[in-house]
Chains A and B, each alone.
Chain A
Amino acid sequence: MITIEELKRIKEEQRPILEKRLIEQGNVNINEDGSIVLNGDYYKKQVRIALKNCGIIDPNNIKEYIAVDGYFALANCLINKKAKDIIEDMKASGLRGRGGAGFPTGRKWETAFLYDADQKYMICNADEGDPGAFMDRSILENDPHSVLEGMAIGGYSIGADKGFIYVRAEYPLAVRRLRAAIDQAKELGLLGNNILGTGFNFDIELRLGSGAFVCGEGTALIESIEGKRGMPRTKIYRTAHKGLWEKPTIINNVETFANVPVIFQKGVDWFRSIGTEKSPGTKVFALVGKVENAGLVEVPMGTTLREIVFDIGGGTQNGKEFKSVQTGGPSGGCIPANLIDTSVDFESLDKIGSIMGSGGMVVMDENTCMVDIARYFLDFTVDESCGKCVPCREGTKRMLETLDKIVSGKGEEEDIEKLESLSETITLGSLCGLGQTAANPVITTLKYFRDEYEAHIQDKKCPAGACVDLVEYFITDKCIGCGACARACPVDCISGAKKELHVIDQDRCIKCGACMEACPPKISAVIKR
Chain B
Amino acid sequence: MDIVINGIHYEVDNNTTILQACRRAGIDIPTLCHDDRLEPFASCRMCLVEIEGSNKLVTACSTHVKDKMVVYTHSEKVIKARRDVLDLIIGNHPLECLSCDKSGQCKLQDYCYEYGIIESSYLGDKREPYVDTSNPFYDYDASKCILCGLCVRVCGELQCTSAIGFEDRGFDTIVKTPFNEGLINSKCVSCGNCVSVCPVGALTPKAQKFRHWETKEVQTTCSYCGVGCQLNLIVKGDKVVGAQPSLEGPNDGLLCVKGKFAYKFINHPDRIKTPLIKRNGKFEEVSWEQAYRYIRRKVIEIKEESGPEAFAGLTSARCTNEENYLFQKLFRAVIGTNNIDHCARL
Residues of A within 8 A of B (CB): 212, 214, 229, 231, 234-236, 382-391, 393-398, 401, 418, 421-422, 424-425, 428-431, 436
Contacts and interface: CB of A to CB of B under 8 A. Distances in A.
B147 A387 contact: yes
B89 A428 contact: no
A229 B165 contact: yes
A385 B169 contact: yes
Nearest to A391: B45
Given A387-B147, A401-B122, A431 B166 contact: no
Contact of B80 (A229, A393, A425): A425
Contacts of A391: 45, 84-85, 88
Contacts of B43: 388-390, 431
Contact of A386 (B44, B64, B170): B170
Contact of B84 (A214, A384, A396, A429): A429
Contacts of A236: 17, 40, 62-64
Given A236-B64, A398-B88, A429-B85, A393 B170 contact: yes
B169 A212 contact: yes
B170 A429 contact: no
Contacts of B40: 234, 236
B177 interface: no
Nearest to A214: B169
B318 interface: no
Contacts of A424: 80
A384 B173 CA distance: 11
Contact of B170 (A382, A431, A436): A382
Given A235-B62, A436-B56, A387 B48 contact: no
A172 B11 CA distance: 56
12 contacts: A212-B169, A234-B40, A236-B62, A386-B170, A387-B168, A387-B171, A388-B149, A390-B43, A394-B171, A398-B122, A401-B122, A428-B57
Nearest to B32: A390
Interface string B12-30: 0000010000000000000
B48 A429 contact: yes
A425 B171 contact: no
B173 A425 contact: no
Contact of B147 (A212, A384, A393): A393
B155 interface: no
A386 B149 CA distance: 13
B88 A390 contact: yes
A396 B171 CA distance: 9
A212 B171 CA distance: 15
Interface in B22-81: 40-45, 48, 55-57, 59, 61-64, 77, 80-81
B171 A382 contact: yes
B169 A389 contact: no
